[in-house]
Amino acid sequence: MKNTAMNDTGIKQSVKYFQYAVYPPTLALGLIFNILALWIACCKIRKWTESRIYILTLITLDTLLLFTLPFKIKAFHDWKTTLLFCKVLESMYFVNMYGSILISTCICLDRFICINHPFLAQSLRSPKKAALVCLAVCVIVSGGNFFTLHLHGNSTGSVRCFQNFSSNTWESKFLLITPEVLFFGCLSIMVICTIRIVISLWRSSNLSRQVGNNRSVMIVGSNLLTYVICYMPYHVTYLLYFLKKNKLLEDPLTILRPALQISQIWANLHCCFNAICYYFVFKEALRIENTETCDTQNSKITRLSTEKSRLSMEKS
């Protein structure tokens, strides 16, 4: 018994140290990257595009999630707060996590339609439609708020946020099916779209188009890589822990709970890794704007020289 207690204490200390190693840098770098990305998106890029709208939505969701991280650290140290405040924090955390998952999928789908179905893209893609998609995503994940409000069951008074969910919560199949279906469904879509984009560009015979569209591969590739690295460990561990809570899986070493906590901490790194996707999207947007500016200037110069030639001929 004493050895078991010592092991539990050691595991809990390891999780605590992992929090200290990951959360402060994630919070600091995440805020820096998101503020910088927000400044570029709002001040440096003038043209409204589908990618710009999706990225602005992703920045907003990631930033809101970052603000919950200090409270997650505090909650791990037996911190209790009012049930209402706890519901707000938990809703903000889970809603923005799965909102980010859906927006990442939308970015991949948008790029797939643009490259693989260019004629169809003319009717399916537009900044207004992208804004409506983002609004729909926010409405859908906010609807999931109803379930997060009942994670602690009928508890009253002070509760531990992100901890000690009620037994009724863990017995609910909805708690397992919804996050897992959402994650693996979006993963399937992103993998298929990314493969199809790479194949389409590989088969393309237009070299200049290939060079221009390599950024698309970078965008969807970095997006998919961030998705798998950050979210996969959490959702696999979450599935195993849910089975353990419902006595469908044995955990003799009692490692699933700390493994779930560690994988959830790790999942929040997406707030930093998404900056790679921002970089390629903004680089493409700035390149397009610079190209359009050069074309406009060249067009003006051509018109002026044509006008001068016409006037000189009239005078002669």
Helices (H) and strands (E) in the chain, counts: 12, 2
Under 8 Å between Cβ of 56 and 27: no
Domains (range + CATH), the chain: 2-295 (1.20.1070.10)
pLDDT value for 191:
95
Distances in Å between the alpha carbon of 162 and those of 84, 88, 261, 266?
A: 13, 11, 10, 15
pLDDT value for 177:
86
98: number of Cβ within 10 Å? 21
pTM of the predicted model, to two decimals?
0.84
pLDDT value for 267:
94
Q: What is the DSSP string of 92-134?
A: HHHHHHHHHHHHHHHHHHHHHHHHH-HHHHHHH--HHHHHHHH
Rounded Cα distance, 217 and 221, in Å = 6
pLDDT value for 306:
52
Q: Cα 253–227–276 angle (5° rounding)?
A: 130
pLDDT value for 22:
92
Rounded Cα distance, 64 and 62, in Å = 6
Under 8 Å between Cβ of 67 and 99: no
Rounded Cα distance, 50 and 44, in Å = 16
The closest alpha carbon to 163, from 63, 81, 62, 271, belongs to 81
Across 196-210, b (16+ Cβ under 10 Å) vs e yields ebeeebeeeeeeeee
pLDDT value for 31:
92
- pLDDT tens for the chain, 316 residues: list them: 444 544 556 677 888 889 989 999 999 999 999 999 888 888 878 888 888 899 999 999 999 999 999 888 888 777 778 888 888 888 889 889 999 999 999 999 998 998 888 888 888 889 999 999 999 999 988 887 777 777 777 766 777 788 777 767 777 777 778 889 999 999 999 999 999 988 887 777 554 455 445 777 888 888 899 999 999 999 999 999 888 888 878 877 678 888 998 999 999 999 999 888 888 888 877 777 666 544 444 444 445 445 445 545 555 5
